[in-house]
Structure 1
Amino acid sequence: MEPKIFSRILCIALVLVLSACTPSPKAIDYGNDACHFCKMTVVDKIHGAELVTAKGKVFTFDAVECMVNFLRNNDQEIALYLINHYGTPEELIDATQAYYLISKELPSPMGAYLTAFKSKAEAEKVQAEKSGDIYDWEGLLTHMNP
């Protein structure tokens, strides 16, 4: 085989291998996917969550509280922390950049009354109507893991 052709084939193969290892989210299949933590079916399009490991394995959750509980005993390197949010149901956003409202006026699937928001302003707007406490990602982890 000619060296030029061989090097092109090798480059293409390398690109395919590297792109296959890139961690990426998977759309949640509401009504069919099961929560990796509590085993309930994921149906709520506002409270779903997803973790993607550095190796590309996807874990789906029916609520942020299940994802946080799963993290307590997880030893895998997490590449992506994703959550659905109040403003646009079904859309997955970066959980580490979101804000969280815990309000008895907003039930969540597992009873933590925990709802995610894309911005602090959105969380504050709903908090003015529903009351509750707002947390960023680190604050939420501290609150849920005293």
Structure 2
Amino acid sequence: MKKNIITLLTLTYLIWGCSGTPKVLEYGTEGCHYCKMTIVDKQHAAQYVTKKGRTYSFDAAECMLNQLKEINEETVNLFLVNDYNDPGSMLDASKATYLISKNIPSPMGEYLSAFGTIGAAREIQTEQGGELFTWTEIKNRFDL
């Protein structure tokens, strides 16, 4: 009986530990997995969570996209990006709308920002110029 309880607790821990839950980014102290710069920009950071539950944080969406060239994307459970209009708030990268505008610098110089809605992205595009992309389109632009 005691062995069964220990086995059950171990399985519960493994299932919860590998659930693919993102971690809170520690801005100003955590380093980018790709370029090693300190993550400070709350409007451009990104993160992915593997199916095994490991999280990888990035100072910019472009670092995450470049990292994807080096891994099997099928191992990833969840992609997240900062919402430009809600600094520090993460959103599902596959549902975000992306804007590349030379008037909005991003940490790695790709001028790439993510938005929670297409309406929000269009509003900033009207003010700042640039081109809008879906998740699929931005991955294609990065040759993924």
Q: Decide: shared fold, TM above 0.5.
A: yes
What is the percentage of aligned positions where both structures have the same residue? 41
**TM value normalised by structure 2:** 0.91
Query: Tell me, which stretches of 5 or more residues in structure 1 are unaligned?
Result: none
Query: 2-side partners of 1:144 and 1:10: how far apart?
Result: 45
Q: Match for residue 92 of structure 1?
A: 90
For residues 23-49 of structure 1, the C-alpha deviation after alignment (integer angstroms, 9 at most, x for no partner) is: 110111001111111110000000000
Query: Tell me, which stretches of 5 or more residues in structure 2 are unaligned?
Result: none
How far does residue 16 in structure 1 lie from its aligned partner after superposition?
A: 3.0
SS at match of 1:112: coil
* Structure 2 counterpart of 1:114, from 112, 115, 136: 112
**TM value normalised by structure 1:** 0.90
Q: Match for residue 21 of structure 1?
A: 18
Query: 2-side partners of 1:73 and 1:7: how far apart?
Result: 41
For 1:62-101, list aligned pairs within 5 A. Answer: 62-75=59-72, 77-101=75-99
Counterpart code for 2:15: L
Counterpart code for 2:59: D
Query: 2-side partners of 1:62 and 1:6: how far apart?
Result: 45
For residues 95-139 of structure 1, the C-alpha deviation after alignment (integer angstroms, 9 at most, x for no partner) is: 000000000110000000111000100000000111100000000
How far does residue 145 in structure 1 lie from its aligned partner after superposition?
A: 1.5
Give the length in aligned residue pairs: 143
SS at match of 1:90: strand
Q: Match for residue 34 of structure 1?
A: 31
Counterpart code for 1:71: L
Query: 1-side partners of 2:13 and 2:142: how far apart?
Result: 40
Query: 2-side partners of 1:81 and 1:8: how far apart?
Result: 35
How far does residue 75 in structure 1 lie from its aligned partner after superposition?
A: 2.7
How far does residue 15 in structure 1 lie from its aligned partner after superposition?
A: 2.7
For 1:103-142, list aligned pairs within 5 A. Answer: 103-142=101-140
Q: Match for residue 52 of structure 1?
A: 49
SS at match of 1:52: strand
Larger radius of gyration: 1
Query: 1-side partners of 2:59 and 2:66: how far apart?
Result: 12
Query: 2-side partners of 1:16 and 1:68: how far apart?
Result: 31
Query: 1-side partners of 2:14 and 2:66: how far apart?
Result: 33
